[in-house]
């Protein structure tokens, strides 16, 4: 990452899959790692469980972030649910040069995606089910997706995740959160 660049991250999930919390945690983790400026931009409206939701994070090593609008041309996209790739407005934001981090245990059809992109897969749902990291409506995907993002970018490591998770969720939830973070950190792979 260029030190002068503001890196823009978009997250796409369904209501209940926790991408709004993920965008806030990502901003905190980057800030903890001495990024000069970070900002989380949730898009909150009349969402309901299962409805498509977006959240955005911007991070910068040396530059103040002066724009607070949503991300239109992301450097990274975190896709919490593969069915969201079929929504035209999400599909159209996948431009050349983007890095996709997709929650999937299966390969992805790349035939209609730009050629100059990187795709990383992590089975965040499988990790959550295996570790019983669930809430009433299903897997809690934010922590494994952030584990995968940390590994891919090097913006933060597991120790930083542990510090922020402990601060945000407390000691009693730390071990379970870190188990899914570590599983994702170690299993994410480029395809």
- The percent of the chain in helix, strand and coil, each rounded to the nearest 5, is 40, 25, 40
CATH numbers and ranges of domains, the chain: 6-190 (3.40.920.10)
Q: Which of 4-8, 108-112, 142-146 has the lowest mean pLDDT?
A: 108-112
Token pair belonging to 69:
């609008």
Percent of the chain exceeding pLDDT 90 equals: 71
**Contacts of 147 by beta carbon, 8 Å cutoff, 6+ apart:** 122, 158, 161, 180, 181, 182, 183, 184, 185, 188
List pLDDT tens digits, range 54-92. Answer: 999 999 999 999 888 888 889 999 999 999 998 888 888
The CA-atom distances, in angstroms, between 146 and each of 43, 72, 117 are 19, 21, 20
Residues composing the chain: 191
List pLDDT tens digits, range 18-41. Answer: 899 999 999 999 999 999 999 999
Rounded to whole angstroms, the Cα distance separating 183 from 149 reads 12
């Amino acid at each position: 990452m260029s030190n002068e660049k503001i890196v823009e991250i978009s997250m796409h999930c369904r209501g209940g899959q926790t991408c709004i919390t993920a965008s806030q945690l990502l901003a905190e983790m980057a800030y903890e790692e001495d990024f000069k400026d970070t900002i989380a931009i949730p898009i909150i409206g009349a969402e309901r469980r299962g409805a498509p939701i977006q959240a955005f994070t911007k991070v910068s090593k040396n530059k103040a972030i002066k724009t607070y609008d949503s991300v239109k041309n992301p450097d990274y996209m975190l896709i919490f649910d593969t069915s969201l790739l079929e929504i035209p407005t999400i599909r159209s934001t996948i431009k050349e040069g983007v890095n996709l981090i997709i929650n999937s245990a299966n390969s992805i059809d790349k035939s209609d995606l730009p050629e100059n992109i990187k795709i990383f897969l992590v089975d965040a749902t499988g990790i959550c089910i295996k570790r019983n990291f669930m809430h009433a409506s299903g897997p809690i995907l934010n922590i494994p997706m952030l584990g995968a993002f940390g590994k891919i970018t090097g913006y933060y490591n597991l120790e930083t995740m542990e510090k922020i998770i402990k601060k945000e969720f407390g000691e009693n939830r730390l071990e379970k959160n870190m188990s899914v973070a570590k599983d994702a950190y170690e299993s994410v792979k480029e395809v």
